Chain A
């Protein structure tokens, strides 16, 4: 190559170089980190909104947040936590881990990977900026039921629609990338039934995403044309059908719930065997159970709609189908217990979070089974019992799963061990706070407190005060988590390549911290070595 003096570029300003490096990166590890940091930031923004909500609910009466503002916080809290905190966290983990677990040098479509991340900050900027627009932010709950969101929605609803479109495009691209990577870039000898369970659960999750995100895009587009182009999909006055909105939304929404938990199942299935020093019990049934849950997720959406006047046979079908989910979910829980059984366990922070995940997710599963029964559902529906149920599945479920993963793989990512004492303190304080916050919600719901209200009758006061105190503590414990993560990245005991004595898998064969490029040459997978 001939280099002329006048064409040699001057070195860039370090700040420009820094920004360009992260904006233009196509490296799966760097994009994984970007996803995780964005998710962390949005977790705190969504959490701040939860703090406002719990502050208002600390006592009966309207004290801090007006009802209209309350509905805006409630809506953004849900949207940010679902689309901004949980989903990007899992995609970040997938980016970091899947290539390292299957012996691939990178994701299969690195430029698309870059694009699918960099859409997200703009989507969320648009969504959150609606708080400061005239007429306020969306105020109809994360389920945005028509016609409250169409005919009656604030002007910023259009920004919400565009934001959801962008999030959907990002998710679909991310999912395509994951599927293409898993199908094409597995190292020789890494057969499907040798893939680690985290890869399996994400593989299935990616299919769910590809199938349902377009449905979400469809429903928000129908909203948009109802709002501006004179259609009446959901407007009864024009011959439309508000209940159809709910059918379409929940056809997306129920698989979405599993999108937010299946990767967590994968994480628990990686961590528990490591610290039990024993192979995962029932690998094949774990894969089959995950696929069964994914399939069932498509035929149970009606259980969100038992009070909409569904015909009795519809209700019976959705009740039975929903109850069936308990079977594969039960298999998973039993398999985790059997993995621990007669192992040789130690309880480092990732193991604590994984066990906390299994136990508290199971509590959420129990209330889910109760909610499936239609006659009692008429009493539970749209009360705090439901709020308790899905927060048990999502907080000590999806979020504890993510935290377990961060403690487990952080030493591999940054080359330092985290502070074990602080990690354990984080686990115990978060576990106490999460139960203090969400367990009383079962009681306030059974006692008759509707969800999504800024003010409540006096008989619900005690439980709400306990929940609010718990929520404040819970917020503090996650500030501690941020501190622990930053402290670990900045320094600490040097991690070995193996990190955990009982860990198995390709990611533990590469150095700690993982170099920017790994598996440029595919690793050799010995015959017979499994998951």
Chain B
């Protein structure tokens, strides 16, 4: 365009005039439309209210700028003396009321639909805990934990961050397309909140309550979200990833899971039958420690003050194995030390306890076998 050609002055104007809007557009600065019928309706309501605000803003701020320009002392030395007008005040009380009514109508309609989770095709029970999600396909017996899978090295800036930094998990929630899916939300400890922006579903998971939400997803794909209620130091690190598959593929996945569950049972039996060595358990235990224990107890086992005690040299990690098993498997009531027995396999528990008893300066030499864990259950 000609007007921007040449001149050092214009060289400065181009980035300001074009750069700022480009930045806003390029960075997804608007509420995303999402993929469900409801998320798209919600975006429309958002746009409607935004436009109402912009138009009112232009009128009010326009009037302010006009009066600041036209009625400044140098241009308008004698002030007017009016200070009341019942009619004007009545009009500008009435008009906002009318605008608000117009805004409330679509919001009310959408809300009544959002809150109606009846006639669903399937139910997923989502249970939150510090700092992971547990998904249970109600009625099928399939259930599993979903943990963040972003490596700690990326968080600590020791490795380059990948595309889905902080938004990736080990086990995704898999859902079918075109089904009315009901979510039930519960929590094991503090309040969390489950949010997938593309579905416009955000619902708190509250201990002692079961909350409800629903969605119907027309398109297969991978959708990401995060916990949105402050839930402790891992709040930023409990992402949600949902993988939506066409119905047939979803059914196949369910069968696969049932089969995998049976295989895991067999593997557990095999693990119990075997006597494991220190060399086998230590690397496995370290892996479990990094994934589940390190957030609080730190990589070097030194913990963080009294709230997250050190394991290095601790009375439990270097004392009786029974006590150590009890603390790891059953947790400590009313603290962030949760019960790991339901979350980890016998082998994983045996490995991590062995690791804690022999890592850092702890040199107990104890080896905990999966069978011991099994018997302690």
User: A240 to chain B: which residues have CB within 8 Å?
Assistant: 208
Kindly identify which residue among A341, A375, A382 contacts B45, using a CB–CB cutoff of 8 Å: A375
Residues of A near B236 (CB, < 8 A) are 67, 450, 453-456
Instruction: Given A148-B231, A242-B207, verify A282-B76 contact (CB < 8 Å).
Output: no
CB-defined contacts of A493 to chain B, threshold 8 Å: none
Type the 1/0 row for A438-458, where 1 means its CB is closer than 8 Å to any CB of B: 000011001110111111111
**Shortest distance from the beta carbon of B347 to any chain A beta carbon, whole Å:** 30
Inter-chain contact B233/A342, CB cutoff 8 Å: no
CB-contact partner of A330 in B96, B209, B336, under 8 A: B96
Q: Which of A147, A284, A339, A376 has the most CB of B within 10 A?
A: A376
Chain B neighbourhood of A67, CB < 8 A: 233-237
Verify A346–B73 contact, CB threshold 8 A. yes
B42 within 8 A of A: yes
Contact, CB under 8 Å: B108 / A316: yes
B153 shortest CB reach to chain A, Å: 10
Residues of chain B within 8 A (CB-CB) of A140 are 230
Q: Could you say which of A173-181, A356-364, A514-522 contacts chain B?
A: A356-364
Identify A326's interface contact among B50, B96, B155, CB under 8 A: B96
Kindly state the separation between the CA atoms of A376 and B43 in the bound complex, as whole angstroms: 7
Least CB separation from B203: chain A residue: A307
Which residues, 323 to 343 on A, are CB-close (under 8 Å) to B? Answer: 323-324, 326-327, 330-331, 333-335, 337-343
CB distance from A246 to the nearest CB of B (A): 9
Residue of B28, B76, B83, B234 near A281 (CB, 8 A) is: B83
**Between-chain CB contacts (< 8 Å), 7 pairs:** A136-B307, A277-B73, A308-B211, A344-B71, A363-B57, A376-B45, A462-B23
Q: Is the CB of A139 within 8 A of B233?
A: yes
- A237 contacts the other chain (Cβ, under 8 Å)? yes
Is A452 in contact with B67, judged by CB distance below 8 angstroms? no
What is the distance, in angstroms, from A399's C-beta to the closest C-beta of chain B? 20
Residue of B nearest to A227 (CB): B334
* Contact among B29, B85, B108, B115 with A446 in the assembled complex (CB-CB below 8 Å): B29
Query: A342, B76: Cβ atoms under 8 Å?
Result: yes
Within 8 Å by CB of B92, from A236, A241, A311, A334, lies: A334
**Which residues of B in the span 223-259 have a Cβ within 8 Å of any Cβ on A?**
225-237
* A383 CB–B CB distance under 8 Å: yes
How many chain B residues touch A (Cβ–Cβ < 8 Å)?
Answer: 103
Contact between chains at A378 and B307 (CB < 8 Å): no
> Is the pair B107, A309 in contact by a Cβ cutoff of 8 Å?
no
Contact among A61, A282, A309, A331 with B157 in the assembled complex (CB-CB below 8 Å): A61
Residue on A nearest B94 in the bound complex, by CB: A327
Whether the Cβ atoms of A379 and B163 lie closer than 8 Å is no
**What residues of chain B have their CB less than 8 Å away from a CB belonging to chain A?**
23-24, 27-32, 38-39, 41-42, 45-46, 49-50, 52-53, 56-57, 60-61, 63-64, 67-68, 71-73, 76-85, 88-89, 92-93, 96-97, 100, 103-104, 107-108, 110-112, 114-115, 154-157, 161, 163-167, 185, 189-191, 193, 195, 197, 200-204, 206-209, 211-212, 225-237, 304-307, 334-336
Complex Cα distance, B130 from A152, in Å, reads 11
Cβ of A61 to closest chain B Cβ, rounded Å: 4
Q: How far is the CA of A381 from the CA of B195 in the complex (A)?
A: 10
Q: Which residues of B contact A324 (CB under 8 A)?
A: 100
Question: Is A375 within 8 A of B107, CB to CB?
Answer: yes
Decide if B32 touches A448 in the complex (CB within 8 Å): yes
Known: A242-B207, A381-B202. 6 other contacts (CB 8 A): A276-B71, A323-B103, A340-B68, A447-B30, A453-B235, A453-B236
- Decide if A315 is an interface residue (CB 8 Å cutoff): yes
Given contacts A62-B157, A242-B207, A316-B111, contact A278 B336 (CB under 8 A): no
Q: Does A319 contact B (CB under 8 A)?
A: yes
User: Whose C-beta in chain A lies nearest to the C-beta of B229?
Assistant: A382
Known: A344-B71, A346-B73, A378-B42. A383 touches B53 (CB 8 A): no
Q: How far is the CB of A396 from chain B (nearest CB, A)?
A: 14
Q: Within the complex, which residue of A66, A236, A362, A370 is in contact with B49, where a contact is CB–CB below 8 Å?
A: A370
The reply to whether B71 and A342 contact each other, CB–CB distance below 8 Å, is yes
Q: Bound state CA distance, A277 and B77, in angstroms?
A: 10
- What is the bound-complex CA distance between A279 and B84, given in angstroms? 9
Contact with B along A134-151 (1 / 0, CB 8 A): 111001110001011001
Report B116 CB to chain A, min CB distance, Å. 8
Indicate if the CB atoms of A379 and B31 lie closer than 8 Å.
Answer: yes
Enumerate chain A interface residues (CB-CB to B < 8 A): 60-63, 66-68, 71, 134-136, 139-141, 145, 147-148, 151-152, 154-155, 236-237, 240-243, 276-285, 307-309, 311-312, 315-316, 319-320, 323-324, 326-327, 330-331, 333-335, 337-347, 355, 358-359, 362-363, 366-367, 369-370, 373-376, 378-379, 381-383, 442-443, 446-448, 450-459, 462-463
Q: Which residue of A lies closest to B157 (CB)?
A: A61
Closest to A75 in B: B230
| In contact, B202 and A379 (Cβ under 8 angstroms) | yes
Chain A residues contacting B165 (CB-CB under 8 Å) are 60, 457-458
**Contact B115 A279, beta carbon cutoff 8 Å:** no
Q: Is the CB of B77 within 8 A of A281?
A: no
For the complex, give the distance between the alpha carbons of A242 and B188 in Å: 13
When distances are taken between beta carbons in the complex, the residues of chain A under 8 Å from B84 are 281-284
Q: Across the two chains, which residue of chain B brings its CB closest to A134?
A: B306
B201 contacts A378, C-beta separation under 8 Å:
yes
Q: Which residues of A contact B38 (CB under 8 A)?
A: 375
| CB closest residue in chain A, given B162 | A458
Q: Do residues B234 and A242 form an inter-chain contact, with CB atoms below 8 A?
A: no
Chain B residue with Cβ nearest A365: B53
Contact (Cβ within 8 A) B68 A134 = no
Q: Is B67 within 8 A of A280, CB to CB?
A: no
A447 and B263 CA atoms in complex are apart in Å by 42
A323-B100 CB under 8 A given contacts A242-B208, A375-B111: yes
A245 smallest CB distance to B (angstroms): 10
Contact among A68, A333, A355, A458 for B60, CB-based, below 8 A: A333
User: Which chain B residue shows the least CB distance to A502?
Assistant: B79
Closest to B114 in A: A375
Partner of B63, one of A139, A316, A337, A376: A337
Closest chain A residue, CB of each to CB of B92: A334
Closest 8 CB pairs of A and B: A236-B208, A453-B236, A443-B29, A309-B211, A366-B53, A342-B80, A279-B83, A382-B228
Complex CA distance for A366 and B53, rounded to whole angstroms: 6
Task: Assess the B207–A312 pair: CB atoms within 8 A.
Answer: no
B190 contacts across to A, CB distance below 8 A:
145, 147-148, 151-152
Asked if residues A458 and B111 are in contact (CB atoms below 8 Å), the reply is no
The contact of A237 among B161, B208, B209, B227, by CB within 8 Å, is B208
Which residue of chain B lies nearest to A280 when distances are taken between CB atoms in the complex?
A: B83
- For residue B367, give the distance in angstroms from its CB to the closest CB of chain A: 33
- For B41, the chain A residues whose CB sits under 8 A away are 375
Assuming the A-B contacts A141-B230, A280-B83, A382-B193, are A312 and B60 also in contact, with contact meaning beta carbons closer than 8 angstroms in the complex?
no
Q: CB-nearest residue of chain A relative to B227?
A: A450
Cross-chain contact of A458 among B24, B29, B112, B163 (Cβ < 8 A): B163
Most chain B CB within a 10 A radius of its CB, from A62, A280, A309, A312: A309
Residues of B within 8 A of A136 (CB): 305, 307
List the A side residues contacting B23 at CB < 8 Å: 462
Taking CB atoms, residues of chain B closer than 8 Å to A308 are 204, 206, 211
By beta carbon, the residue of chain B nearest A458 is: B165
Chain A residues positioned under 8 Å from B195 (CB to CB): 382, 450
| In the bound complex, CA of A359 to CA of B107 (Å) | 27
A378 touches B154 (CB 8 A): no
